[in-house]
Amino acid sequence: MGGMKRGALAGEESAQRPATLGDLESEGVDVFCWCNRCGHNAIVPIESLIGPLGPAQPVPEIGIRMRCTACGAKDVAARPSWPSLGQVSNHN
């Protein structure tokens, strides 16, 4: 039974893989980066990343290659810059 469970879990994990630069390029989505040290953030165009890093680069791993332009820290996180739903207001 252990082998069946391992196989099922492996299938689930592969379905939940992180988005790659190629995935974002096909969707027309850029990368949102923020500094965990000072809070500075920016949206980086996908075109400027896909050339040097390649389409198979997982988006969460991009941060380790970045440096904050505000404070110089290398503690940068990255995620897809999904389109905003607009300002969220108080829903009572």
Distance between CA 16 and CA 67 in Å, rounded? 28
Q: Where are the domains of the chain?
A: 18-80
Q: pLDDT for 70-86, tens place per residue?
A: 999 999 999 999 887 66
Please name which of 22, 43, 39, 51 lies closest in space to residue 76, comparing C-alpha atoms: 39
* pLDDT the model gives residue 7: 67
Whole-angstrom distance, CA of residue 62 vs CA of residue 37: 17
At which residue do the structure tokens 């680069």 appear? 57
Answer yes or no: is pLDDT of 19 > 60.
Answer: yes
| CATH 2.20.28 matches 18-80 | yes
| Bigger pLDDT: 90 vs 23 | 23
